[in-house]
């Protein structure tokens, strides 16, 4: 079997034991150092190459996320690029007046990317709607994320375009255009879905959700979403102009949109990755702390300042080992801070607790792109 076929099989099975993960990770690492010259040089500096493979997942050399802005990290030539996503951080640099240096995460095919995102979304966002005996219950997707028609290189926009196409009822929409949140159209379409008895999924950045709630508050209005609706919130509580806590945001969203806390689910992902984390089912009954769980082909590792793995419960920087990243780099170091609880995968309460960003790190792009909505909603 090819690497892609093996990874795809693991995604479809939604199961991968530790030994199987390590074996596949070693083979993927060997492939990447053979076909990705910048990563090969990075790995050699760490003492590894095609013949000297890591013995443990924790030993796999992880590039900083910022490396995507410094080099083309891909296992294939540029002319084979099927899609590419712009890495985050550019918005902040431009706002500070510095020359923009955007990075790219390039994919030779979207097969693994789409399979990974749908498998996780199905399990973590749609478990109650996928009833084999009755047929799938399709939600209506009302998206407060970048419209892929206007932002073709947004990984979040691409993700929700795939989800809406494959899992939606065909009548959803996009409500952020030219940095403007179309509140009236969103309210009208949400009310129509309620009248039709169709549950909706609102995919939104944190700041877009803030903008929506601010607009509803200014109107003195609530908007009861249809029964069975849910929110997928993609993070970004701290911005340049204001700070919104998760407790404040979720409490108001629950009240104004008429949904229980457990229906508000945080997704955690990065442009540099091909896979996503979601709040565990058990932790959704509370606002904080929420525990993020990874799919079987994605492993989080928490490391200290020297890159050494830390035990459960100790705060450090988060490293991701993502087998779906076949076309780029298997392991990514971030400036996100967190701690592992239990094991990285397994029971609902075992996973990753996010604790913010390393001081001085760039603010990540998804919600920064939506900050202007606070002044331009209409």
Distances (CA, A) of 245 to 239, 257, 322: 11, 18, 29
Residue 6 CB neighbour total at 10 angstroms: 17
Contact 322, 304 (CB under 8 A): no
Residue 105: name the closest of 121, 83, 89, 123 by CA. Answer: 83
Q: Using an 8 Å Cβ cutoff, are 206 and 179 in contact? A: no
Burial label for 99, CB within 10 Å (0-12, 13-18, 19+), is exposed
Domain assignment present for 300? yes
Residue 268 has pLDDT above 90, yes or no: yes
Contact 289, 270 (CB under 8 A): no
pLDDT for 98: 59
Is position 151 within any domain? Answer: yes
Question: What total of structural domains would you count in the chain?
Answer: 1
CATH number of the CATH domain containing 250 = 3.40.50.12780
Which of these, 116, 136, 142, 146, lies nearest to 365 by C-alpha position? 146
Residue 354 forms beta bridges with which residues?
338
Please tell me the distance from the alpha carbon of residue 165 to that of residue 341, in angstroms, as a whole number.
Answer: 35
pTM to 2 decimal places = 0.90
Q: Is residue 265 part of a domain?
A: yes
In whole angstroms, how far apart are CA 343 and each of 85, 110, 292, 298, 376? Answer: 31, 30, 11, 13, 43
Q: Which run of H or of E encompasses 209? A: helix 206-218
Mean pLDDT of the residues in the chain: 89
Rounded Cα distance between 179 and 234, Å, is: 17
Phi, psi of 140 (to 5 degrees): -105, 125
- What pLDDT shows up at residue 361? 53
CB 326 within 8 A of CB 8: no
Q: What is the pLDDT of residues 5-24, one digit of tens each?
A: 999 999 999 999 999 999 99
99 part of a folded domain: no
Q: Flag whether 294 is in a domain.
A: yes
| Residue 229: count of CB within 10 angstroms of its CB | 22
Coil, helix or strand for 46? coil
* Within-domain flag for 90: no
DSSP letter for 50, please. S
Higher pLDDT, 236 or 359: 236
Tokens of residue 283, six digits: 């932790």
Would residue 8 count as lying in a domain?
no
Report yes or no: 335 and 317 within 8 Å, Cβ to Cβ. yes
Q: Is 104 contained in some domain? A: no
Per-residue pLDDT of 135-192, as tens digits, reads: 577 999 999 999 999 999 999 999 999 999 999 999 999 999 988 899 999 999 999 9
Give CA torsion, residues 225, 168, 4, 351, to 10 deg: 10
**Residue 36 in this model has a pLDDT that exceeds 90:** yes
Q: What is the pLDDT of residues 69-99, one digit of tens each?
A: 999 999 999 999 999 999 865 334 444 555 6
First-last CA distance in the chain: 53
Computed on alpha carbons and rounded to an integer, the radius of gyration of the chain in Å comes to: 20
d(CA 363, CA 370): 13
DSSP for residue 100: P
Q: How many CB atoms neighbour CB 135 within 10 A?
A: 8
Q: Which domain holds residue 228?
A: 111-376
């Amino acid at each position: 079997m090819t690497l892609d076929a093996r990874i795809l099989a693991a995604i479809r099975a939604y199961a991968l034991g530790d030994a199987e993960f390590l074996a596949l990770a070693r083979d993927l690492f060997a492939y990447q150092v053979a076909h990705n010259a910048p990563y090969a040089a990075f790995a050699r500096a760490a003492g590894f190459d095609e013949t000297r493979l890591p013995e443990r997942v924790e030993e796999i050399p992880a590039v900083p996320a910022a490396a995507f802005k410094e080099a083309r990290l891909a296992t294939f030539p540029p002319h084979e690029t099927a899609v590419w996503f712009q890495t985050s951080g550019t918005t902040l640099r431009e706002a500070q007046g510095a020359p923009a240096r955007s990075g790219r995460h390039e994919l030779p095919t979207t097969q693994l990317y789409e399979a990974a995102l749908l498998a996780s979304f199905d399990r973590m966002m749609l478990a109650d709607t996928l009833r084999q005996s009755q047929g799938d219950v399709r939600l209506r997707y009302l998206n407060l994320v970048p419209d892929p028609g206007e932002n073709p290189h947004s990984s979040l926009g691409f993700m929700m375009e795939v989800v809406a196409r494959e899992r939606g009822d065909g009548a959803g929409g996009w409500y952020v255009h030219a940095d403007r949140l179309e509140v009236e159209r969103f309210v009208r379409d949400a009310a129509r879905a309620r009248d039709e008895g169709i549950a909706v999924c609102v995919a939104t950045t944190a700041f877009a959700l803030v903008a929506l709630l601010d607009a509803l508050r200014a109107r003195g209005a609530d908007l009861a979403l249809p029964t069975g609706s849910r929110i997928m919130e993609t993070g970004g509580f701290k911005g340049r102009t204001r700070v919104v806590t998760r407790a404040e945001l979720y409490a108001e969203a629950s009240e104004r949109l008429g949904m229980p806390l457990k229906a508000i689910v945080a997704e955690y992902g990065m442009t540099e990755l091909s896979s996503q984390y979601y709040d565990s089912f058990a932790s959704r009954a509370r606002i904080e702390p929420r525990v993020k769980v990874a799919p079987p082909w994605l492993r989080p590792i928490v490391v200290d300042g020297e890159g050494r793995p830390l035990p459960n419960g100790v705060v450090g920087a988060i490293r991701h080992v993502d087998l779906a990243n076949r076309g780029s780099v298997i392991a990514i170091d971030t400036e996100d801070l967190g701690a592992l609880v239990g094991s990285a995968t397994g029971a609902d309460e075992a996973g990753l607790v996010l604790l913010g960003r390393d001081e001085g790190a760039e603010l990540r792009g998804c919600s920064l792109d939506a900050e202007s909505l606070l002044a331009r909603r209409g």
